[in-house]
Amino acid sequence: MQIERGGSPRPIDDFITDSPDGLNWVKIGDAPAQGNYITKTAEKIKPEGLSKTREVHPGDLILSNSMSFGKPYIMGIDGCIHDGWLLIRNTYKAFDLTFLCHLLGTPQMIIQYKSLAAGSTVNNLNKELVGNTVVTIPTIKEQRVLGQYLETLDNLITLHQRKPNFYTGGYYAE
């Protein structure tokens, strides 16, 4: 796996843009409360900020590395990540992406992240710490089956968390 930290052009306010040629600027607030895919961003940065950040593409996995660290997401769009994210790119295709996303968010992995990040004032993950975690993986065929099962289960849970809206006949999420 390729593991890299994001970065931010400074001062960031000089790089924020509304221009259509801007690059999606992925922030922690863009991560969905439900689900594992990042499909939109609230802000964009100017293309000249690209040299100071990390570019991500659909199919890349990103992992929050500070604050509520350890939550993985799959990129559904092109964009750039700031230094609150780690990029985990499945360079050698050793993992099924959906399976890996679920695996990296398990309580067992969070425990490893916390123990590896312990000792500093603010617990942060970095690429060395994440690279030192230990995982046991099934075959790629088994990963695909497990990943699909977990994705279906997540979708079912999300559906059941929605409350009926008796006024419109539809549903709303809390």
User: pLDDT tens digits, residue range 28-87?
Assistant: 899 988 889 999 999 999 999 999 999 999 999 999 887 667 889 999 999 999 988 999
How many other C-beta atoms lie within 10 A of the C-beta of residue 24? Answer: 21
Asked if the model's pLDDT at residue 127 lies above 80, the reply is no
Altogether, the residues listed in the chain come to a count of 174
Q: Could you tell me the pLDDT band of residue 111, with boundaries at 50, 70 and 90?
A: confident
d(CA 113, CA 31): 20
Q: Which two tokens stand for residue 32?
A: 């969905």
Per-residue model confidence (pLDDT) at position 123: 60
Q: Is the pLDDT of residue 161 over 90?
A: no
- Element at 32 (helix H, strand E): none
Taking the C-alpha atoms of 148, 153, 157 and 160 in order, what is their torsion angle to the nearest 10 degrees?
A: 100
Which one has a higher pLDDT value, 22 or 151?
Answer: 22
DSSP string, 121-155: SS----HHHHHT-------HHHHHHHHHHHHHHHH
Which residues does 162 contact at the CB level (< 8 Å), separation at least 6? 171, 172, 173, 174
